[in-house]
Amino acid sequence: MALHFLAWELMLLEERVNMMERRVQRRRLRDAQNPYDLPDAEFRRSFRISPELSLMITDSLRPFLIRQRSTGLSPEIQVLVAVNFYAHGSYQRTTGDRFDFCVSPSTVSRCLHSVTDLINQRLLRPWVKFPVSREDRQAARLKFRNAPQPFEGTLGAIDCTYINIIAPVDHEEAFVNHHQNHSLNVQAVVDPTLKVLNINARYPGARNDAYIWSVSPIRQVMEQNYGAGERHLWLIGMS
């Protein structure tokens, strides 16, 4: 009995050593690869954003992404793991993408949750702002006046798009759009450079664009401007 117990303990110890070795190997592989060494075009293909924007996001979130263990991911890699998921919808390496983070699905999940929560808490309001003040509205109009396809008096371009999701447990039918996919119907307003000025992801896919516009805070802002005498301000979009 004692020999069997000793053999079992040795087997467990060997498995723990193997796990540690695999973790060290993954870290070595990860550290040997620097995604910022990729050519600019390849970086954009992998992450759908520029290296400069990625570093800007990382610097903004760095105080809140300090690694908890010596073997933990750096803030740069945590952000890129999440951004890569946003870009492709999967933690697996995409076809033609040479870069591999060498991290487990559970690590990806932790990065995705922490980075997403921080973006919502720390970056959404400072970075996504509709032109509310008179000065901001004038600057927005100037952008559209000087755009390659100018439209005088325009503050932004507005439209809705379906973002497919996994079918939710509660009120599943409300999320089925007319393509029979489960989705959110997301309203966005952008400027001529495609910078997002407002985003509204509150409504399920069964809600149509007209309804979302009818209850949109942006509609209220535009009506207030009209009521205040500003008669030549527009949002352009498809009907």
DSSP class per residue in 89-144:
SSSSPPTT--------HHHHHHHHHHHHHHIIIIIHHHH-----SHHHHHHHHHHH
For residue 68, the model assigns a pLDDT of 58
pLDDT exceeds 60 at position 169: yes
Three-state SS at 13: helix
List, in sequence order, every residue forming a beta bridge with 140; answer none if it has no partner. Answer: none
Mean pLDDT of 94-114: 73
When mean pLDDT is compared over 65-74, 86-95, 107-116, the highest value belongs to 107-116
For residue 71, the model assigns a pLDDT of 52
| Mean pLDDT over the full length of the chain | 85
pLDDT tier at 96, thresholds 50, 70, 90: very low
Query: Which residue, of 127, 158, 193, is where some domain finishes?
Result: 127
Domain shared by 140 and 54, yes or no: no
How much is the pTM?
0.73
For residue 53, the model assigns a pLDDT of 95
Domain shared by 138 and 211, yes or no: yes
Using only C-alpha atoms, the chain has a radius of gyration, in whole angstroms, of: 24
pLDDT tens-place string over residues 117-157: 999 999 998 999 999 999 999 999 999 999 998 999 999 99
Domain shared by 158 and 226, yes or no: yes
What are the backbone dihedrals phi and psi of residue 230, each rounded to the nearest 5 degrees, phi first?
A: -85, 100
Residue 43 falls inside a structural domain: yes
List, in sequence order, every residue forming a beta bridge with 158; answer none if it has no partner. Answer: 189
Lowest mean pLDDT among 27-36, 85-94, 229-238: 27-36
Query: Which residue, of 127, 153, 175, is where some domain finishes?
Result: 127
Domain shared by 158 and 223, yes or no: yes
Residue-range definition of the domain harbouring residue 168: 134-236
Q: Rounded CA gap, 154 and 222, in Å? A: 11
Q: CA separation (Å) from 207 to 161, 182, 227?
A: 11, 12, 28
Query: Which residue, of 111, 127, 143, is where some domain finishes?
Result: 127
Domain shared by 145 and 101, yes or no: no
Domain shared by 156 and 216, yes or no: yes
List, in sequence order, every residue forming a beta bridge with 76; answer none if it has no partner. Answer: none
Residue 233 in tokens: 């301000």
Domain shared by 123 and 138, yes or no: no
pLDDT exceeds 60 at position 109: yes
